[in-house]
Amino acid sequence: MLGLLGRLKRGRVELVDAGRRLEFGDGDGPAATVTVRSPAFYRQVLRGSLGIGDSYTRGLWDCDDLVALVRVLARNMETIDRVRRRMAPVLSPVQRVASRSWLPTPARSRRQIAAHYDLGNDFFELFLDETMTYSCAVFDTPGADLADASRAKLERVCAKLDVHPGDHVLEIGTGWGSFALHAATTRGCRVTTTTLSKEQHDYARERIEDAGLRDRITLLLDDYRHLRGRFDKLVSIEMIEAVGWQNFGTFFRRCSELLKSTGAMALQAITIDDRAYELEKAKRTFIKSRIFPGGALPSVEVMTREVARSTDMRAVHLEDITPHYPPTLAAWRRRLLENAGRVLARGYPERLVRQFELYFAYCEAGFTERRIGDVQMVLAKPAFRGEQAVLEGARHAVLAT
């Protein structure tokens, strides 16, 4: 552990253990102080991000600025990445064999989704805004609060697809119903939306009924691989990360098959740098083991390749919205900590608060340092002729920002 910290060159970490203070790195960049609460911390750190995450969840250490700490680590990953690339020819075959034991089948996908999204709707209510949007918001006006930014993102998707009353829109990944409700209410279209989470399904159903939109919104509890029908437009907002890297081609093929020949889809995806994709796709990390079991981030290059290989769609628009994710995550983390007492009062354990606190900080730092990104893509079928509308929708969205 101390040897690793001793190699820090960008940023500074102070380690406090039983009154002893050790400083590592330099003064240039973010700085954080880590306070060790148990000697077991050092053994856990040897397990990488999984051990770091588990030990924080267990209270083995604390930090005055988790985001700064992860930013320092991210800035010093270049040396580790070079070693991992040299080891890739050895590790890749092992990872491929191991991954066969946890292929993302429909049954396994359902269990993995439940592990995160079925924690309890009342838990997510305590840090999400009133729209219950659990994806990157877009802060397109000065002083916008989280709810305003969430609505701006939903409107951005509708504008890019030029959704209108005559459209039947398919959404893969309902969440708690924010997009379906926004599209049906503001555009007057029909929406069919599906989720694998029973908790989300029940919550979204209540919201749809309360809004009087049962005639416009059809809510399903089904896997995207089992959907049938042909739709004018398709939307999937930060759901592809859950399909598994083995199924990226299957996902895009099914999306293409579910669209009419004149249709188009809008995809919002958390991405990883193309150069890190092969290194990370099958790696067991804190996020992929404890937060989103079985998840994997695609890269833009991988998505583009799979679209070309598995579908007849073409990309007509790509926008990087990464700068909007750090303030989104900061807002979620702030709201979580402000409501920590209410979380505990509802019977949730303190370890869950600590786990999500680190998860939000971990991701905020990752987006800030561009280890990960967030993009919106529009993919079109062969007979789609709405490119001008896509460009206009994108232009108005950018001007609003």
By annotation, the residues acting in catalysis are 363
Token pair listed for 391: 């460009």
Burial 190-226, CB ≥16 within 10 A → b, else e: bbbbbbbbebbbebbbebbeeeebeebbbbbbebbee
Residues 6+ apart with CB under 8 A from 288: 294, 295, 296
Evaluate whether 386 touches 263 at the Cβ level (below 8 Å): no
**Three-state SS sequence of 30-47:** CEEEEEECCCHHHHHHCC
Between the CA of residue 119 and those of 156, 241, 292, 348, what are the distances in Å? Answer: 29, 19, 12, 9
Quote the Cα angle for 237-242-243, to 5°. Answer: 105
Q: Which residues pair with 17 in a beta bridge?
A: 20
Residues 6+ apart with CB under 8 A from 133: 150, 153, 154, 175, 176, 178, 179
- Dihedral sign, CA of 236, 242, 244, 247? negative
Amino acid at 64: D
Task: Tell me phi and psi for residue 65, to 5 degrees.
Answer: -155, 90
Evaluate whether 162 touches 185 at the Cβ level (below 8 Å): no
Token pair listed for 37: 């609460």
